[in-house]
Chain A
Amino acid sequence: MKLAQWQEGFRDWLTTGSADSTDVFGDRAWPGLTVYQNNYRTQLVTCLEVSYPQLLRRIGEGNFRNAAMAHIDAHPPRGWTLDTYGADFVDTLVAVFPRNPDLHELAWIEWSLSEAFVAPDASPLAREALWSVNWDEARLRLTPSLRHRVATTNADDVWSALQNDADSVPDGEMLDVAGALVVWRQGFHSRLRRLDADDDAALRLAIGEGHFAAMCDTLVMRLGEEAGVARAGALLADWLDAGIVVGVDN
């Protein structure tokens, strides 16, 4: 038998657990094949548990394990590192818990925090670098660790309560007005923040073209001249302090 066929048979055994895949190995191989099958599933379940510790606490071991098994069956690992295996677990959660956007957003938070943790390094921008900036032309460069999505639920409050072992964890609720969730890394610490619709509009522009002037125009349109300019300045200062803005290009 060719090695490639032998390896494909081994893969089929691991992913399906079907005895049809094991004929090529002979009867003597059965106990050992069971060890590999157990290792395969146990490792992937553990990987998901480590990637989503607060989701596990939120839905409980039984529900988590069911979702994990559904994910393993539908998404055999493909990458060279287990660290990326949980990347599309949220797709499985959408299928298993279709009426729980709070769980989908909680999973997004956990995954984004872990991605940000090992994202490329970026030095914070020194304030002195801003003195010579032409703000009419300026484009903001954001940290490569930044992750951003629409927020429709209070998943960030739930995550914070779980993460901090709070005495009470809020129920999942829809927000009255959708906002955004932002995750990034400041130094070696991953950060999470919920933005209101105005700040989200500004950040979307910064993520896109990055023109600070366009960001100001948008905030002026939404808030009026004085408040809009003030908000743009305050946001820029905040993003600089938080390490979200790491460069300004003219």
Chain B
Amino acid sequence: MFTPPPTFSGYGLGLRKEHYRDFLDGDVPVDFVEVISENFMVDGGQPRDILRRVREKHPVALHGVSMSIGSADGVDIAYLRRLKALADEVQPLFVSDHLSWSRVAGFSSHDLLPVPYTEEALALVCRNIEVAQDVLGHAMQFENPSSYVAFDGATMSEWEFLAEMSKRTGCGLLLDVNNVFVSASNHGFDAHAFLRGIPAERVRQVHLAGHSQGPGLLIDTHDQPVCDDVWALYRTAMSLLGPVATMIERDDAIPPLAELLDELDMARGLGAAAREAA
């Protein structure tokens, strides 16, 4: 049984191509950066070189999108070995992915598809996490995804599923506050109940992002600034959590770095205020 990864308290940004030059040439005021693992799980060339040079300046968290931990087919061992090779080189703060699935019977959707919150899925996800952690040799973190479909036969809430998953496997949790807000809105549950329901002591990292209004549903687009409602939820989360690494996650419509650093300052301020008030 693994135990959740060590805590790290700080504020970071996702490393995106638009800001490579800033991170390589300048002194960007972040405590860590997070990269999309798959973008660097390549054989060689400039991406790996950039990651090596950024790693010399900042701690790095590896955040994946393709592990498909909820896949009924099990996890892809070749993928895990490639991820392990990257992790061995980078020596990351955390290795994380999502509580979702994307792969079935040789098909890969490349989207974070929802897991039904049932005992069958819980047992399968836990088995897959144990395999992944065994290959990697350390505990991972798994993030609550935004979802647009709820399974009629669910027997537990998302936060109950996450809590039991973490308890059984020793994995840490990555709390995406925006995803809580989006899923709560889409499925009509209480976002604060989610925050109170997850085991705070197992949360190691927090994501903040923006979303968009779709036809009848909120869509997790990561192309907007963090909205006021999500900031408010973040403040509540920080009053409940222990030491965590908070990160602004922007994947589309990437603004100048200064704008993201302003958002990160906002997170710092709210985080500090929440801690003082707690």
Contacts and interface: CB of A to CB of B under 8 A. Distances in A.
A2 B120 contact: yes
Contacts of A1: 153
A100 B73 CA distance: 41
B110 A77 contact: yes
User: Chain B interface: which size bin?
Assistant: 35 or more
Nearest to B113: A10
B68, B76, B107, B121 pick with most chain A CB within 10 angstroms: B107
B44 A78 contact: no
A7 B72 contact: yes
B239 interface: no
A223 interface: no
A208 interface: no
Interface stretch (A21-29, A60-68, A133-141, A226-234): A21-29
Given A35-B217, A120-B44, A29 B72 contact: no
Nearest to A10: B113
B273 interface: no
A121 B101 contact: no
B51 to A, nearest CB: 12
Interface string B86-121: 000000000000000101111111110100101011
A244 B110 CA distance: 35
Nearest to A81: B38
Contacts of B71: 7
Nearest to B105: A8
A48 interface: no
Contacts of B41: 81
B66 interface: yes
Interface in A1-40: 1-4, 6-8, 10-11, 14-15, 25-26, 28-29, 31-36, 39-40
Contacts of B113: 7, 10, 36
Interface stretch (B143-151, B158-166, B192-200, B240-248): B143-151
Given A28-B150, A39-B111, A78 B106 contact: yes
Contact of A7 (B46, B104, B111, B219): B104
B45 interface: yes
Given A3-B120, A10-B113, A77-B110, A26 B101 contact: no
B152 A32 contact: no
A12 to B, nearest CB: 9
A79 to B, nearest CB: 6
Contacts of A160: none
B191 interface: no
Nearest to A44: B110
Nearest to B187: A32
A76 interface: yes
B260 to A, nearest CB: 22
Given A7-B72, A32-B217, 12 more contacts: A3-B116, A3-B121, A7-B113, A10-B109, A14-B111, A32-B149, A32-B150, A78-B107, A81-B66, A83-B38, A119-B44, A185-B45
29 contacts: A3-B121, A4-B104, A7-B104, A10-B109, A10-B113, A11-B107, A14-B111, A32-B147, A32-B150, A32-B217, A34-B215, A36-B109, A39-B111, A40-B111, A76-B107, A77-B110, A78-B106, A80-B68, A80-B108, A82-B38, A83-B38, A83-B42, A85-B110, A118-B43, A118-B44, A118-B47, A121-B44, A144-B43, A188-B49
